[in-house]
Amino acid sequence: MSEFGMVIVGAGEVGARTAIELRMQGWNGSITLIGEEQSAPYERPPLSKDCLLMEGDPSPTFILDEEKLAQNNIDFLSGSAVVEIDRNNYFVVLNNGRQIGYKRLLLATGARPRKLSLEGNDVSNVLYLRTFADALALRSQLDAGKHVAIIGGGFIGLEVAASAIQRGCLVTLVEVAPRILMRGVPEEIASMVERRHREAGVNFKMGVGISNIETDNGRQVIVLADGTSLHCDIIIAGIGAIPETSLAAKSGLEIENGVRVNELLQTSDPHIFAAGDCCSFPHLLYDGKRIRLEAWRNAQDQGIHAAHNMLGAEKAYAAVPWFWSDQYDLTLQVTGLPDQGEKTVIRDLGNSGMIFFHFSSDGKLVAASGIGTAAIAKDIRIAEMLIEKQGVLDLEVFEKPEVKLKSLLKA
């Protein structure tokens, strides 16, 4: 068995960032990064956009390529899975039987797509988007003139819809909820996004479920609950993600909407940490509310933070959540937790867009949601800093675009 070093299970954004940060913080012992995919760690945000749209054959945008892995002396085990954690003797067991000892262990197992399930229906042809291989499979079918049906009006479904439209496909999006982007986005922003998609040619079926999926002369048919039938060439489902907790649960770690961690990102076993999509954690800026985030920035931040605490820093994680999505010429950015707001103030930036500021009942800024051009990014970033400061603010100021938000930081 190898020396007892730092072992990371999961070679996505979190795992890669943790491995790099461990070296940057001076850890000279072994680092073992274990990933089930054959590829070196790569970025996932381009999968729904650039990977589907670029000319020529796409390739992953690597976070750690072979050269960087070698430079940082990171032992990367691709195509490998951990099947057991021996918590008493501090080692993991791989699917090939190899045992690797750990001083500290990080679970960065991410999430998997929620699969469409219809009793009595064959849904094996439904496509999902999570990995680079998924993106290649989807891309190969997005030919001009094909009818693409997308199930789910969340960010993944909408980003794929935008890419499919730009590839010349006909697109119908089915959402069982009364509107798109039900989680974490104000209704006004969702309406603006929907309007932009309709202008581009996306057809929406809202507030209706799916009864059956059938096949007719080689094409797929979605039968909706209202009796409508959609004949299509491709079905793509983007109906959420499930945290990958099977290894943690098997090992007896606490599970609560993901692997349950404390403010240090420690699991119920102090030698084992978890970060990213797979874990839920208490957020100190929101009175310890336990949340789980599926976001690129959170994966980066928690990966870096976990590295520090694996080395004994004992620092609480309190980064303000941030998320973005690009669709057509629109940029959407959200910082904080909009569902924690009780009052909303709208800042109209004219042609640049709109920002919705969400406040608690006592006047603290808890979130900001913006949509428009890239120009909104500056105000969203300032809002993020204001959320961190937790000060009581004058709400009326936020309605006045002539008042620079930066002045509030100085105040």
CATH code of residue 287: 3.50.50.60
Identify whether 28 is part of a domain: yes
pLDDT digits (tens, 9 = 90+) for 238-258: 999 999 999 999 999 999 999
Is it the case that residue 379 has pLDDT exceeding 90?
A: yes
User: Looking at the chain, how many residues does it have?
Assistant: 411
Is 64 in the same domain as 168? Answer: no
Asked if residue 33 lies in contact with residue 77, where contact means CB atoms within 8 angstroms, the answer is yes
Identify whether 263 is part of a domain: yes
Domain count, the chain: 3
pLDDT level of residue 231 (50, 70, 90 thresholds): very high
Is 121 in the same domain as 235? Answer: yes
A 10 A CB-CB count for 28 gives 9
Q: Which among 136, 205, 196 is positioned nearest to 162, based on CA atoms?
A: 196
Question: With the C-alpha atoms ordered 149, 152, 156, 161, is the resulting torsion angle positive or negative?
Answer: positive
- Structure tokens, 260: 């349950």
Task: Report d(CA 232, CA 170) in Å as an integer.
Answer: 9
Identify whether 374 is part of a domain: yes
Is 376 in the same domain as 405? Answer: yes
Is 189 in the same domain as 254? Answer: no
pLDDT digits (tens, 9 = 90+) for 170-188: 999 999 999 999 987 999 9
Of 239, 254, 280, the position where a domain reaches its end is: 239
Is it the case that residue 1 has pLDDT exceeding 60?
A: no
How much is the pLDDT for 411?
67
Domain that holds residue 364: 329-410
Task: Report d(CA 136, CA 56) in Å as an integer.
Answer: 12
Label residues 176-206 b or e (16+ Cβ within 10 Å = b). Answer: beebbbeebbbeebbebbbebbeeeebebbe
pLDDT level of residue 38 (50, 70, 90 thresholds): very high
pTM value > 0.85: yes
Is 305 in the same domain as 386? Answer: no
Is 31 in the same domain as 119? Answer: no
Is 119 in the same domain as 203? Answer: yes
Is 103 in the same domain as 137? Answer: no
Identify whether 156 is part of a domain: yes
Is 214 in the same domain as 125? Answer: yes
Identify whether 320 is part of a domain: no
Identify whether 197 is part of a domain: yes
pLDDT digits (tens, 9 = 90+) for 114-151: 999 888 788 889 999 999 999 999 999 999 999 999 99
CATH of residue 349: 3.30.390.30
Is 231 in the same domain as 252? Answer: no
